[in-house]
Structure 1
């Protein structure tokens, strides 16, 4: 007689997982002599391998600056850089093909969305760790070493972003602040929510002003285990693909990014991936030193308006996925879907 297998929902699976990562970070320091939150010497990454995946869509305004910063990374790791152009209509693909830091340039035949672009890149990745970097993120030179040295098979490493308003130099290059990017510029670090308005993620309404400090208040996200939250923040929402390292095997096992989010609009595919990886047993650990400049596009206001308009739909899809069984054993489906995108794509490997 067959016995029915009960699968708990993703939401319930999150409630079974802790995020007490202190043993991992202190163990790293004891083993290496390096502070978890300090920039990493280049030589410390010797012998490590890492795949960097960059999804890009009409980012020619920022891409040379972003890729130059990747070329200036100081590390001794073996790193491949895979850029997936999601059928851009500007010079994104040409920049990717020309730039020496890009080891594999992919151009999808038609627009598929950032989730599909990331899945295609991750499918081509060879290293056990995949570092997702947005095509408008300018990284300080130690980030590759920071991630390569700290990566582990059951750990999600998240960096931070400092948004920069679009301005150009006389020669047309994006202007960056002279000072290093600020950790506190990220909303996961410093957060001042509106008063007397429904917070869209949690549904809470705050009646008093709050000087929120999610990163500090949650002890580097540790207290967000077991499905707990900090006002409008929970552990999956801390997983942001602007700068995010994940174990490739676990990424495939949970099916990669859910590509339906791209059909609906903007956002939440990284939150859902975070939920899936957490449910599978991964820790989410921040790297306070890994902060990049996130370059706003020239039409930032219009883009944000369009993105936020679609957020209710993607949030509703995320909540639907939370009610379904936690994803697992989906490597074959991940491979099949990614290979379908790559079948008619242009792939150039150096």
Structure 2
């Protein structure tokens, strides 16, 4: 038995409104109650030397949330209680939710132990689609090495302690942690039984939400189906073979007017699996799901698509959440889902009849950027409803009925689930995301008549007629909701781009940069850890699919992305011209510009604030101007086509004419002007338009 190792995530002042959050008073009570029981509060660092016994307790926090410095540190300081913070280094300074490096220095100097929580907070047990075991291990090694390098660069420390993201510590993760040299590593467990392995020390949730019932949740699993007999038979067989108690779930398959006979699939199924039929009027997935919900006999509805294969313990993963979170709208993971078909799919021959637990994961590329930014905490999001996919969704029947279920206005493919999500969110549903309730989305690339027009290689606007009608219905049903209207406009823009087949495709790499101006967050969309290579290559594949001629790489300093060169090589193989947007400083590194040219880079658009070195340094950091100038010189020496993105602020505006003169003297063309007005709302394009050359694109932020 180990010490009582308690872990927490977030702390608030007042009553908690988010999951995984303790109040300041609750944190104080947690410590004092254990001390009254005779337990000693000790540091997790003890595990690196002499592990504490059952008479001790420890406190640690995961994820480096800003509330740790604001609320946890003052409370624990008054109690003289040591604590550890496990930091996923990619998330530091990426949003107001997370601590800055200066904040972490303050915690370090106050006596906190800083541990490693990996770099990008991955599920370390997931093998990705392009990896064998060796590739999986190599990625984990790189993940840990990057985190340790950042710790050393920013804090001058090398953490001795590690906490597995999501508490998951399979053998391959332990091997990577051992090879990285950590003294002790911590999992998440239901109890404190410990076998003495210092790379698998259990921690328990200090806020462990007690199950609201001792009885497993009753589930009605609803699957709308249309043809695809082979895939459907596999999906239903998996559902019929769950390890879950048979009397606590049923499977209702609703035939949405199939041309094939689905009946034989159900001839030998157990009594809790049944088939319903509705007439063939059109593709009506929402109405089929509603029919299943109307016939459901259990208190919780679990919607799955007919091409989503799950593992034998799938319902237990749903049960864990629903027994603990009242009003949960549980979004499960969809491996292999992608709005656009780019070839990364789970094919029937790879899935049917096989144990899906052994399959690699194809990242849910449509939702991953949003999920990463909030570390899967959907209650951080003002509007989580765009993530509502009924391919893997569960919720109480009472909540479903209260918001009116599926609307029968939507016909054809798409948006009936988003409409439901809007109403669930507005109706008080608590959105929760799970990376353990995984469904594998099976796609047959030989299938004719795809319902999703985005998957076609050359779709016409006519193919989107039904989807556009559904968008209009969504906009009308939520006419007063600005967030829905923005969603509709983004969706229409996506359709326009897909059908117009643009000549240039932009690829955002994530906004990271070591040398940042004070305006960085307004100029770049920052994603923790940068966009993974898999997603970057998806975007390259999209550019190739639509026949684009140019790829434009942007977002912070692309040259600092760890996969910068693989991205360049892939882009150069797919299109005829590769350019990037750069802050310039990174290319001061000897040979970098030439290497980028040799990898396929042809052009660079450099951010220019001013030609004044003193002002440039004031906006960035001392010495930055010299590196910026060397970077520009290196790009030009590599014979790349160099142009400028001019960024004008109230502070740099007085230098604008001299900066334009400098650009002209240097022979650097001007591609764009961005005017930043935050510091002075009365300042804008009108103040400088007489200076900016005609024909140059202008925007205000």
Structure 1 residues 109 and 305: CA distance shift in structure 2, 3 A: closer
The alignment status of 1:106 with 2:258, answered yes or no, reads: no
> What SS does structure 1 have at the residue aligned with 2:477?
helix
Q: Kindly tell me: are residues 19 and 224 of structure 1, through their superposed partners in 2, closer, same or farther at Cα, counting changes over 3 Å? A: farther
Provide, for residues 87-115 of structure 1, a one-character-per-residue CA deviation record: whole Å limited to 9, x for no partner: 11113243245433753310113346111
Query: Which residue in 1 is equivalent to 2:403?
Result: 254
Contact 2:240 2:273 (8 Å CA) reproduced: no
Runs of 5+ unmatched residues, structure 1: 1-17, 37-43, 190-212, 228-234, 326-350
Cα distance per residue 1:245-292 (max 9 Å; x no partner): 011011112111112212xx2111111111101101111100111112
Cα pair 1:49 1:128 within 8 Å, conserved: yes
1:223-262 CA distance string (max 9 Å, x none): 65334xxxxxxx1111111110011011112111112212
Q: Which residue of 1 aligns with 2:244?
A: 75
* Residues in 2 aligned to 1:31 and 1:250: alpha-carbon distance in whole angstroms: 31
Q: Structure 1 177/35 Cα, relative in aligned 2: closer, same or farther at 3 Å?
A: same
Q: Secondary structure at the match of 1:132?
A: strand
Q: Please give the alpha-carbon distance, in whole angstroms, between the structure 2 residues aligned to 1:318 and 1:295.
A: 28
| CA distance 1:297–1:72, shift in 2 (3 Å) | same
Does 1 or 2 have the higher relative contact order (CA < 8 Å, sep 6+)?
1
Matched, 1:160 2:333: yes
In structure 1, how many angstroms separate the alpha carbons of the residues matched to 2:17 and 2:381?
5
Give the match for residue 303 of structure 2. Answer: 132
Structure 2 unaligned blocks of 5 or more: 1-15, 23-166, 168-187, 192-202, 206-212, 337-344, 455-462, 482-701
After superposition, the C-alpha distances for 1:182-214 in whole angstroms (9 at most, x for unaligned) are 26244212xxxxxxxxxxxxxxxxxxxxxxx22
1:120 aligns with 2:120: no
Greater radius of gyration (CA): 2
- CA pair 142-101 structure 1, distance change in 2 beyond 3 A: farther
Output one character per residue of 1:124-180: Cα deviation in whole Å (capped at 9) or x when no partner.
1121110001111100122101112321441100111123343448xx957787833
**Structure 1 stretch displaced more, 283-292 or 46-55:** 46-55
Between the aligned partners of 2:227 and 2:204, the Cα distance in structure 1 is 38
Match of 2:440 in 1: 293
1:257·1:273 contact (CA, 8 Å) conserved in 2?
yes
Counterparts of 1:98 and 1:89, CA distance in 2: 22
TM-align CA RMSD: 3.5
Contact 1:21–1:222 (CA under 8 A) maintained in structure 2: no
Query: Counterpart in 1 of 2:387?
Result: 238
The TM-score normalised by the length of structure 1 is 0.65
Structure 2 length normalisation: TM-score? 0.34
Q: Is the 8 A contact 1:45 1:148 kept in 2?
A: no
Specify the alignment match of 2:617 in structure 1.
none
Partner secondary structure for residue 184 of structure 1: coil
| Deviation larger for 298-307 or 286-295 | 298-307
User: Residues 103 and 61 of structure 1: is their aligned pair in 2 closer, same or farther, counting only changes over 3 Å?
Assistant: closer
